[in-house]
A and B are shown apart, each in its own frame.
Chain A
Amino acid sequence: MDVLTLLGQLLNTTLVFSTALIFASLGGIFSERSGVVNIGLEGLMMFGAFAAAVGGYYAQEAGMGELAPWVGVLSAMAVGIIGSLIHAVASITFKADQTISGTVINFLAAGSTLYMVKLLFEGSGETPLLDGFSKFAIPGLSKIPIIGEGIFNSYPTTYLAIVLVIIVYLVLFKTPFGLRLRAVGEHPSAADTLGVNVNRMRYIGVMMSGMLAGIGGATITLTTTGTFAHNTISGQGFIAIAAMIFGKWNPLGAFGAAVFFGFSQAIRNYVQLFEWSKNIPQEFIYMIPYVLTIIVLVSTVGRSSAPKALGQAYDPSKR
């Protein structure tokens, strides 16, 4: 196999792995920029992956063909939002500790999704196999060497993720809505004084995170596994949190970090194609992304630049 095709394939696999992380970390950004810690991304992705598997399956059974995976994505968005509302109600309305209510999401998701799968599919531990999305080559562009194979011959969800990064960036930094969302996360009482409804903005932030993390989970069932089981989501949500922190709560940074994590996932399979890799224990190859992350953080990131009011419930009586 020649090097160009190999590089193209590596890029392509990287993006497949990154897509879910991009969606989820963008979701995390919405929530945390509004001042609500979201440790529940893992659970929200689980809700999304589950909803996509079930919604996609019934749509496929109903003969919707090509549209079926999109039904899966829509169901994932809806279920993700519903799941995130638990977090929102507890942490915003009832001022619960945000870390705790995020953990609750992880628990409820792990329990309820599998419970539902067993209920819907007669005790089976996983959903029936789906067709899912197929890769879509963009005419013309997909003929370019390396990036043609690498980027322009991807799943529709990957294109969506990349476009969304730019949209989220523009929304956060170039619109009044984005300014308000960030203000609520930096200095809620000042925002309140200026007439911004703090709790409403935070509800929107958390619900956006539920929707996006839901899509992130959906992409895993619809492009990679084809089913939902107990191990479909195993740690991706936490990696997405890491990508968000790594990217300094900025959509472009989180995108870069997500691609980095995706790349290190993808490279595992490719390194093993080479003879020299036989001398390195496989575990060390698996460790690379995580060790690299720590090294990069140590050498580049100074004090973390989290939103100022992150983690604090807003109490108007305490100005």
Chain B
Amino acid sequence: MNKLRKIFATDSYIVPLVAIILGFLVGAIVMLAGGYDPIAAYSALFKRVFGSTYDIGEAIREMTPLMLTGLAVAFAFRSGMFNIGADGQVLIGMTAASVVGIKLAALPSFLLVPLAVIAAGLCGGIWAGIAGYLKAKRGINEVITTIMLNWIALFFANYIVRTFLLIPGQNRSEDIPASLSMTFLNSFFDNARLHWGTAIALAAAVFFYVYLWKTKQGYEMRAVGLNPHAAEYAGMNVGRNVIKAMFISGIFAGLAGAGEVLGVFHYQSVFAGSPGYGFDGIAVALLGLTHPFGVILAAILYGTLTYGAAGMSFGADVPPELIRIVIGSIIFFIAAQGIVRWVLKPFYFKRKKEKVL
């Protein structure tokens, strides 16, 4: 019981919760200022997400890549790096999964599907590993290399799809025979595009937690993230940890790509611009306080909001961009915890007084 009280007494969850409420309030104020009805808008949002089993399934589909890219960004963050490149790593993962899924289609599916998923993870990891390598060996800021690698990945993925996988006359690849879809759920979720990527994402979160907090290698990685100089002094190989951390981070992002092409679209398009997975991942990682289970919760929140945003514009005529203001505000309040503490101050004061008595 005492332990339970302890969990609920820490602000580790109070601050994000208050931040979420404040974020919704900011959104409501913005809507009021624009002459919209915030209550109608928010209820339209939630009605859209929880209105039917199809919508619930589709919302889960929306959350899945967010979980994985969020984990990717968070993992790099824990090791002291800012991986802006999840976007490119997702694209490379997608491309690897498409190439394996189409070109090795002769294999039986129990071999083909795992192979495509593994290829996606590995290629995403190697792509991120390039940035890690350049940071470790040449001291080049990973922010700049991951930005550059995002663009290179975009054009490279398009090149592969256009040259090797294209349906002539269309802007997309052939259909991919390998599939991660959970077809057995189709009748229950009314053909929503659920896929095994969700299970992979949850497993990745568990792996993230166990690896970083329960293994020696993870301990080293966190030490490098907290203070590379101290870690080096203690005899840890900082460079190797940097490369490894980026590699694992990239695997998460690559798997997100596999889920999208093998589970959702079943083909890969030629992208005109960045699909934006990586930037959503940054937001999710920050919302989740870079903790794996926090990231899962954050992806659920973020996915609910973005999926519901369409309902908001349909049901209450509010531009769906409003949801980005809400999300931005939530992150703002989480980051600037001082503001939240200030809001909560009267409550804290009361509690302390009770203790004195």
Contacts and interface: CB of A to CB of B under 8 A. Distances in A.
Contact of A235 (B159, B274, B323, B334): B274
Given A103-B331, A281-B163, A298-B138, A293 B324 contact: no
B332 A246 contact: no
A128 B217 CA distance: 56
**Prevailing SS type, chain A contact patch:** helix
Interface residues of B, number: 47
A280 B280 CA distance: 34
Contact of A245 (B34, B143, B322): B143
A306 interface: yes
Given A94-B336, A110-B321, A111-B323, A287 B151 contact: yes
B100 interface: no
B134 A298 contact: yes
Given A86-B332, A96-B336, A238-B147, A103 B155 contact: no
B322 A111 contact: yes
Interface string B80-122: 0010100000000000000000000000000000000000000
Determine which residue in A93, A107, A286, A287 has the highest number of CB atoms from chain B within 10 A of its CB, and name it: A107
B147 A231 contact: no
Interface in B256-294: 273-274, 279, 282-283, 286
Contacts of B329: 104, 108
Given A89-B336, A94-B337, A297 B319 contact: no
Interface string A73-109: 0000000000000100110011111011101111110
B144 interface: yes
B144 A114 contact: no
Interface string B320-351: 01111111110110111111000000000000
A112 B140 contact: no
Contacts of B322: 111, 115
Contacts of B84: 238
Interface residues of A, number: 52
B335 A291 contact: no
Contact of A298 (B140, B149, B274, B283): B140
B30 interface: yes
B342 to A, nearest CB: 9
B134 A294 contact: yes
Interface string A2-25: 000000000000000000000000
Contact of B159 (A39, A118, A231, A284): A284
Given A118-B319, A245-B144, A294-B145, A111 B152 contact: no
Contact of B337 (A96, A235, A242, A304): A96
Contact of A106 (B82, B279, B321, B334): B279
A220 interface: no
Nearest to B322: A115
Instruction: Select the residue from B149, B152, B337 with max chain A CB neighbours within 10 A.
Output: B152
A112 B145 CA distance: 29
A66 to B, nearest CB: 33
Interface string B292-323: 00000000000000000000000000010111
B148 interface: yes
B162 interface: yes
B156 interface: yes
Interface in A267-304: 281, 283-284, 286-287, 289-291, 293-294, 297-298, 301-304
Interface in A207-244: 231, 234-235, 238-239, 241-242
Interface in B119-157: 134, 138-141, 143-145, 147-149, 151-152, 155-156
Contacts of A289: 151
Nearest to B160: A283
Contact of A108 (B279, B319, B328): B328
Contact of B335 (A101, A231, A239, A303): A101
Given A111-B321, A234-B273, A101 B144 contact: no
A118 B313 CA distance: 12
B139 A304 contact: yes
A138 interface: no
A95 B341 CA distance: 13
Contact of A104 (B155, B323, B331): B331
B241 interface: no
Contacts of B152: 287, 290-291
25 contacts: A39-B143, A96-B335, A99-B82, A100-B334, A103-B331, A104-B331, A107-B325, A107-B331, A111-B322, A111-B324, A112-B30, A115-B30, A234-B273, A235-B147, A235-B151, A238-B147, A239-B147, A241-B147, A242-B143, A245-B143, A245-B144, A283-B159, A287-B155, A289-B151, A294-B134
Q: Closest 9 CB pairs between A and B?
A: A111-B324, A107-B328, A94-B338, A283-B159, A96-B335, A111-B325, A108-B328, A94-B336, A100-B335
Interface of B: 30, 34, 82, 84, 134, 138-141, 143-145, 147-149, 151-152, 155-156, 158-159, 162-163, 273-274, 279, 282-283, 286, 319, 321-329, 331-332, 334-339
Given A104-B329, A107-B325, 9 more contacts: A90-B335, A108-B324, A111-B327, A115-B322, A238-B147, A242-B148, A283-B156, A291-B148, A294-B140
